[in-house]
Amino acid sequence: MLETLLWIVRRDVTLAWRRRTDLFTTLIFFVIVIALFPLGIGPELDTLRLIAPGVMLVGALLASMLALEQLFSADHRDGSLEQLLLTPQPLGVIVLGKVIAHWLITGLPLVVLAPVLGLQYDMSAESLKVMVIALLLGTPTLSLLGAIGAALTLGLRTGGILVALLVLPLYIPVLIFGAGAVEATASGLGGQAHLSMLGAILLVALLATPIATSAALRISSE
């Protein structure tokens, strides 16, 4: 199963790199969202520091959602998904591999860019550190939860809109605890409790979403 998982990750990352336009679109969208807020809010540093956690998490949430529709649709169009459904390996392993690849090409670059973009909000080094940890815990959860919505809307014409409607309520806890961790750190209260909640949510999503996504894929492919 580990060999299958690694093969799926390698395959999807390679295919995504061949479609570099989609990858750069997600990154550019994230950069634009984060960069426009200081221009609209103004140069007041206290205000920028106050809104920074929410802006960062919302930007990462929207950028991750932008690429969700492509998680299974390309394999569905060329018939690869049907072959993957017939493999003897557990479908949950294949789903997990595709989600890991999705996070590597969309979530991880956002985590790398976040500290650089956070400088324009005058965030402290400690706040930036907590922000990176929150994104490291939160962005995989976004990919895992988003996979359920992508599987349920597979093959539908308005899949992108339906994915947003389905997964946005599931994303709210990640947004709340991620932004709360940075705000608590900035106020001197410490963000460990919020980060622990993010870790617990990630663990539950890691265990439950591959099973739910597998069932959704089988329903959508029938």
Longest Cα–Cα distance in the chain: 59
CA distance 73 to 75: 5
Q: Which of 48, 30, 28 is nearest to 38 (CA)?
A: 48
**What is residue 182's predicted lDDT score, i.e. its pLDDT?**
86
**What is the C-alpha separation between 104 and 152, in angstroms, rounded?**
22
pTM score, two decimals?
Answer: 0.85
Distance CA 152, CA 158 (A): 12
From the number of C-beta atoms within 10 Å of its C-beta (0-12, 13-18, 19+), residue 14 rates as: exposed
Cβ(167)–Cβ(148) under 8 Å?
yes
pLDDT in tens, the chain (222 residues): 778 888 888 888 888 777 777 778 888 888 888 888 888 777 777 888 888 888 888 888 888 888 787 777 777 777 777 777 777 788 888 888 889 988 988 888 888 888 888 888 888 888 888 888 999 999 999 989 988 888 888 766 665 677 777 888 888 899 899 888 888 888 878 778 899 999 999 999 999 998 988 888 888 776
